[in-house]
Structure 1
């Protein structure tokens, strides 16, 4: 070794050098080769091909150009890799069985679904598809960033403006270092509907988006078998989608033999290879019942015929084909894409969010560019108008100037013009000085100023920008949307236990001791008012039915206890029982303490509908007259052991919970027969664990709240019931509105005969009432049998109550279409002497509207 040579040798640790070099290589493959960008859905080679073809001018309405010329353009300017890689990529972009929406319009042999190789690039020709040009629209308006190419001689776009969401439309596949991507194609119409739904409601869930984007839509059609994999892919970004070819059973001429005819095959399956392998399996006796195979595919479409033997069962043979051949395959979804240069696994909503954000940025940058150009033009037109207003002076100044520079400086100095305006005036042709041309300049200036105002409005309003995006998407939908090709066929795995349960109305009963059951609504019959009832519940000694209501089997039940805890339970999870059965202890279903007791049950159909959750409230009232209002959203995340719904003091307990829309009338009744009526707006929303504020001032320590009504309309009708079986209907407007925290007004004239107040309900004439006493006797009566009476009356008898018995619960239920009336039921009519007078009490002096004070929040 010559002296001085080892001065250029730097000793390094080979392990560290290889680690660093491999990381650099990995990142290069990940970022610059294998993974698509989430914004335009393209890998660098696809982006360069499309941009290169546009720069070359091979648009959809221009002549085809040799593929070799296009490949050379892309290689020489943007993509310093092998020519075969570029050509193969371009070929795939032209194959309608590879891409759901091909980006290249190929002429010549571009391969086939049988796996035939395309012709050499010197023979084929290509040009851009119109939909591909939509990805490049506005690229010359500074809408995206550019970077230098490999030799810094040209610039290429980092990302395309992407007027269509190519990532969702065509998917992508690629193997990087340590990761891979495999994204499914979708239907353009469905995707755009989903994007518009997201723009309209940013809080939409993946499940909500799936109402628009149903499933992947593969270029070769076929059938998606089972939906669980699709759902997993949409929700998590990973899932296994099972695909099947589309098969029909036909009768051969003569009617003695059947044929299985395949007209569509799974995505990315080589048709010729599938037929060959099927023939091999038949020869090996692994598939039986097929006598002949023919590929009858032609220009009109695909047709693979499997002739069956005379004794073959077509369904059995078809299932064997699904099991042993590529007639059934799977597509493993792995939605990995680059987000700000880093690989991320994305669910359906993530991809839509990133696309909309990208389009939003494109619209902003395009508007800013157009505004700059409009302002430049307006500036020049202002100069023209100044010159035209002083035409003789301008001409005189120009004629007297020795050279253009002198004239320019003279114009700037005399008319306060900019250099740009002065130069434009000097460059103006003489024909622009005519009257007609003057009018054109004035009109153009007005149009430009109107455009500037419009562009400024767009930049000032995100809502306008989103409307522009929606409008452009609607344009793309109208131009390119087509019918779904891939059908969806559900399998047994798609159905959960809940899916097997009919969604129907049932009666839920809860006893005083905590026994619960659900019963078919048809087991309860309607009787006349005043009837003795029928035995509806078999309870143990000293137990009685306390709650009875209707519910849908698929609803969530929000169960509130007197200690202020909340538990969640699906209705179908409650064991079914007969009308006379005892039921199951509630402790077997929820983690309620032995000394705790159910106070209210609220039904909610869907705990994932954010708009519904945020616009509905739970209003709670305690025995001591404390009220609290909280958004339903704060109670929408079920937990096995329940949560604290309301912080309650030791000497108090929860009485009732109602769901409201935020603008209802609240009426709270007390045992003493008084009730307070105020607007819901008088109670502000509070946190989940807040204590609440005072709702009603009670008479004394023995008085307590017995119930609450949250009515939507002021003309609602209220029903009150006493412990001795008396009740009446009165109009809500008879309960005058007072301040929250007052004593309220008389709701019922309480006497020794009526007993104290036990229930208050909002009712309509189509309702039925289910009245239960502590001995377990129930009676169902129609509300329309009760006439509306004055607020301060004591009402009429609704049910005969034994000497040592009393009413324990009153619930309203929907009237059945066909009502079975017990003919021998004892009925007390309005003429019955035991019924009280309808004349209202005159005891109005006790009515008070004193304002209460809030307790701790």
Structure 2
């Protein structure tokens, strides 16, 4: 029986087996590489490898925040050639993003030139822009030359690069991060450094603090573009506790008074990662399609700051109602998702809570402190060794000069000489172990230092300075030893460093104050159309060819109107701008129009088919004003029909709502308002049938039931009426006739009926 660690047995007769294993191994390698070395940030410094290498390369180029700029092409070239063997375009894009103050809360790169803008324009080519580090980036790098972190070889083994940066503040949360790996992704919003430092200090004092307690210090994200977070506090707490959630973010706006009752809305901050140009295009589209009738105009008056002007169609509009509708239909309100999936120890991806991320940062800072302190102790020991040699030289100056002048090998002679033990005993009293090679003998380092000493250093003043320096170093070394041996002192030191960072990048620092505020979302109720539009009388005119328009005021309906050649009136009626119109097509579908959206009456109007998706082969059967609560009688040429509530035929989209089902050559023919208790139908054979309305079913959609039976032909018209008042029609002479004695034509639904009475219209229509 083989051991479980043995490699899988490959069947030579199965050629797919090696390929399957090879693909599995290679894909796993690719996935791990993407997760660890490209897409997910490190929880300790909050950086991905490309960003870390950019900052390190700029440090090697000595591009300090108070120094000069260098061409971006030079920087991206050095990063690509020395540390990051990928495309220079990808490196430059990553560097440019670190310089965009609308994308990064605390920019790490100080850019000079065109680095893009909030409209979504791309940065200029790398040969046209220049860059250097910011003070924030320098805080990320401080301690690199003090053995604060581990270094590893670069991709070709010719140089070394840091595995992680020391990072004075929790950059992962301060600047946020986003990335898509293989099978996982991350999306972290930016936060305020001062608040993060306070949370870290609290976590140092109370290591077992609850996640919700940290919200007293970090209430939520702090986006570089500002805005207002309207997410409920309980949702924010759950997001930070689990590492997954989201934040609703709205634009910041105010009402600007223009005098005489006029006003406009000024948007001064837009949501994070929303391109201003696309936002304006979306709002302009809403105006063009009239999806928000109370919205009048939008224009961009932005300069260095954001200033979007939104004008209402009427001064009587409520600004809160207008903005509430814009929140629903545009990116003036967005939802920023939180997925805190990070490399918690530089190796393992994990979805972390805010407490876990801050704890990972603090543990990293403690390791950095210990390594820097140990490195400083080594430097002090080396300097004390040199200082001891100098002091020996001063105490025995004549003998040292004599050896240097006359001995053939002064270094060896200095090291052989016995210089006594008094100075060694004095230093040992301060818990310092002398590095002397033997009993009062000089070490190799001390001998070299004495030989390299300048003659001008032999002054009495220099000797006193050496003694003072030795005393100060001994005191500093004792403090560092105590620090390395005491955990509480280490955490106190880290807390002091965080307080210093908070002071450096807090409220008094340019851009340090919180930009994003919090508010309650409020409930934006559905506002009826009538409340959003000024109520004005209009006259709706629809031609036989389907051109529709609205004329201001209630004009005389008998007045002669202009139409295109070969066209004429089909429907003309009085309405108001707040009305909704229903269009019934011969395809059995109802379409809904807003009277306020109809084109003006100066021209011939616009084709109705451009406003709704009415097929070219379908005809307009009926056009009328919608009145809630009414019922309609609908019927097809085949003689099938039913009653439908008018409220159920309203359509929300251009495609309309199918109500009467028709197939083949059958088409919708009748749509009349239900009034009375009886139904009268007439066929193409001029036979009339009258039956009770209660025999017709009430349906929302369908083919319906048979109204009248025909041997040949079909239905010509159908109408409802009150049996007491009788059935009315116009005779061929244009006179109104009313027939109250209808017993001859009364029958059961779906019967054949009797021939129409004398004087019935020749077009077989009741109206």
Report the equivalent of 1:58: 63
> Compared with structure 1, are the counterparts of its residues 218 and 181 closer, same or farther at alpha carbon in structure 2 (3 Å cutoff)?
same
The match for 2:237 among 219, 228, 231 is 231
Q: Is the 8 A contact 1:103 1:128 kept in 2?
A: yes
> Compared with structure 1, are the counterparts of its residues 16 and 451 closer, same or farther at alpha carbon in structure 2 (3 Å cutoff)?
same
Matched, 1:490 2:520: yes
Q: Is the 8 A contact 1:293 1:307 kept in 2?
A: no
Q: Cα distance, 1:415 vs. partner?
A: 4.0
The match for 2:383 among 377, 383, 392 is 377
Q: How does 1:417-456 map onto structure 2 within 5 Å?
A: 417-456=442-481
Q: Distance in 2 between matches of 1:325 and 1:436?
A: 76
Measured on the aligned residues, the alpha-carbon RMSD in Å equals 1.7
> How many positions carry a matched residue from both structures?
483
Matched, 1:305 2:310: yes
Once the two structures are superposed, what CA deviation does each residue of 1:337-375 show, in whole Å capped at 9, x if it has no partner?
102211011111101111111001100000000000001
Q: Is the 8 A contact 2:391 2:466 kept in 1?
A: yes
Q: Distance in 2 between matches of 1:65 and 1:253?
A: 52
Q: Distance in 1 between matches of 2:408 and 2:365?
A: 53
The match for 1:152 among 150, 157, 172 is 157
Q: Distance in 1 between matches of 2:308 and 2:495?
A: 40
Local SS of the residue matching 1:71: helix
Q: Distance in 1 between matches of 2:54 and 2:260?
A: 55
Q: Cα distance, 1:189 vs. partner?
A: 1.2
The match for 1:217 among 198, 218, 222 is 222
Q: Distance in 1 between matches of 2:309 and 2:31?
A: 44
Which deviates further from its counterpart, 357-366 or 304-313? 304-313
Q: Distance in 1 between matches of 2:198 and 2:133?
A: 26
Q: Is the 8 A contact 2:400 2:414 kept in 1?
A: no
Q: Distance in 1 between matches of 2:17 and 2:400?
A: 75
Q: Distance in 2 between matches of 1:413 and 1:98?
A: 62
Once the two structures are superposed, what CA deviation does each residue of 1:295-345 show, in whole Å capped at 9, x if it has no partner?
111124433333442443322221110001001110110001102211011
Local SS of the residue matching 1:220: coil
Report the equivalent of 2:186: 181
Q: How does 1:759-778 map onto structure 2 within 5 Å?
A: none
Report the equivalent of 2:727: none
TM-score by length of 1: 0.55
Q: Distance in 2 between matches of 1:358 and 1:268?
A: 30
Once the two structures are superposed, what CA deviation does each residue of 1:449-493 show, in whole Å capped at 9, x if it has no partner?
111111111112222211211111111111111221111113479
Q: Is the 8 A contact 2:227 2:515 kept in 1?
A: yes
Q: Distance in 1 between matches of 2:45 and 2:191?
A: 15
Q: Distance in 2 between matches of 1:309 and 1:387?
A: 94
Q: Cα distance, 1:180 vs. partner?
A: 0.3
Q: Is the 8 A contact 1:94 1:106 kept in 2?
A: yes
> Compared with structure 1, are the counterparts of its residues 41 and 432 closer, same or farther at alpha carbon in structure 2 (3 Å cutoff)?
same
Q: How does 1:785-800 map onto structure 2 within 5 Å?
A: none
Q: Distance in 1 between matches of 2:282 and 2:16?
A: 57
Report the equivalent of 2:499: 474
Q: Distance in 2 between matches of 1:327 and 1:333?
A: 19
The match for 2:47 among 42, 48, 53 is 42
Q: Cα distance, 1:11 vs. partner?
A: 9.1
Q: Distance in 1 between matches of 2:38 and 2:260?
A: 57
Q: Cα distance, 1:247 vs. partner?
A: 2.0
Q: Distance in 2 between matches of 1:491 and 1:152?
A: 56
Q: Distance in 2 between matches of 1:302 and 1:188?
A: 27
Once the two structures are superposed, what CA deviation does each residue of 1:383-416 show, in whole Å capped at 9, x if it has no partner?
2112222222222233331134543443478941
> Compared with structure 1, are the counterparts of its residues 265 and 300 closer, same or farther at alpha carbon in structure 2 (3 Å cutoff)?
closer
Local SS of the residue matching 1:57: coil
Local SS of the residue matching 2:499: helix
Q: Distance in 2 between matches of 1:362 and 1:73?
A: 27
Q: Distance in 2 between matches of 1:402 and 1:58?
A: 48
Q: Distance in 2 between matches of 1:304 and 1:43?
A: 39
Q: Distance in 2 between matches of 1:300 and 1:311?
A: 29
Which deviates further from its counterpart, 221-230 or 451-460? 221-230
Local SS of the residue matching 1:333: strand
The match for 2:201 among 189, 196, 199 is 196
Q: Distance in 2 between matches of 1:250 and 1:437?
A: 72
Q: Distance in 2 between matches of 1:367 and 1:169?
A: 26
Once the two structures are superposed, what CA deviation does each residue of 1:512-546 show, in whole Å capped at 9, x if it has no partner?
xxxxxxxxxxxxxxxxxxxxxxxxxxxxxxxxxxx
Report the equivalent of 2:147: 142
Q: Distance in 1 between matches of 2:17 and 2:69?
A: 54
Report the equivalent of 1:83: 88
Q: Is the 8 A contact 1:397 1:410 kept in 2?
A: no
The match for 2:79 among 74, 81, 105 is 74
Q: Is the 8 A contact 1:308 1:314 kept in 2?
A: no
Matched, 1:386 2:395: no
Q: Is the 8 A contact 2:279 2:331 kept in 1?
A: yes
Local SS of the residue matching 2:267: strand
Q: Is the 8 A contact 2:196 2:218 kept in 1?
A: yes
Report the equivalent of 1:663: none
Q: Distance in 2 between matches of 1:437 and 1:345?
A: 59
Once the two structures are superposed, what CA deviation does each residue of 1:234-285 show, in whole Å capped at 9, x if it has no partner?
1110001111111222333322x33222111111001110110111122112
Q: Is the 8 A contact 1:235 1:347 kept in 2?
A: yes
> Compared with structure 1, are the counterparts of its residues 401 and 321 closer, same or farther at alpha carbon in structure 2 (3 Å cutoff)?
same
Once the two structures are superposed, what CA deviation does each residue of 1:524-578 show, in whole Å capped at 9, x if it has no partner?
xxxxxxxxxxxxxxxxxxxxxxxxxxxxxxxxxxxxxxxxxxxxxxxxxxxxxxx
Report the equivalent of 1:27: 32
Q: How does 1:152-171 map onto structure 2 within 5 Å?
A: 152-171=157-176
Local SS of the residue matching 1:459: helix
Q: Cα distance, 1:78 vs. partner?
A: 0.5
Q: Cα distance, 1:448 vs. partner?
A: 1.2
Local SS of the residue matching 1:13: helix
TM-score by length of 2: 0.61
Report the equivalent of 1:347: 353
Once the two structures are superposed, what CA deviation does each residue of 1:89-117 show, in whole Å capped at 9, x if it has no partner?
11110111101111111111111100011
Q: How does 1:639-654 map onto structure 2 within 5 Å?
A: none
Q: Distance in 2 between matches of 1:234 and 1:492?
A: 23
The match for 2:482 among 457, 465, 468 is 457
Q: How does 1:687-766 map onto structure 2 within 5 Å?
A: none
Matched, 1:245 2:251: yes
Q: Is the 8 A contact 1:229 1:242 kept in 2?
A: no
> Compared with structure 1, are the counterparts of its residues 224 and 288 closer, same or farther at alpha carbon in structure 2 (3 Å cutoff)?
same
> Compared with structure 1, are the counterparts of its residues 34 and 435 closer, same or farther at alpha carbon in structure 2 (3 Å cutoff)?
same
Report the equivalent of 1:293: 298
Q: Cα distance, 1:443 vs. partner?
A: 1.2
Once the two structures are superposed, what CA deviation does each residue of 1:43-76 show, in whole Å capped at 9, x if it has no partner?
0001000111011011100011111111111111
Q: Distance in 2 between matches of 1:46 and 1:304?
A: 37
The match for 1:410 among 416, 419, 423 is 416
Q: Distance in 1 between matches of 2:35 and 2:309?
A: 40
Q: Distance in 2 between matches of 1:185 and 1:376?
A: 43
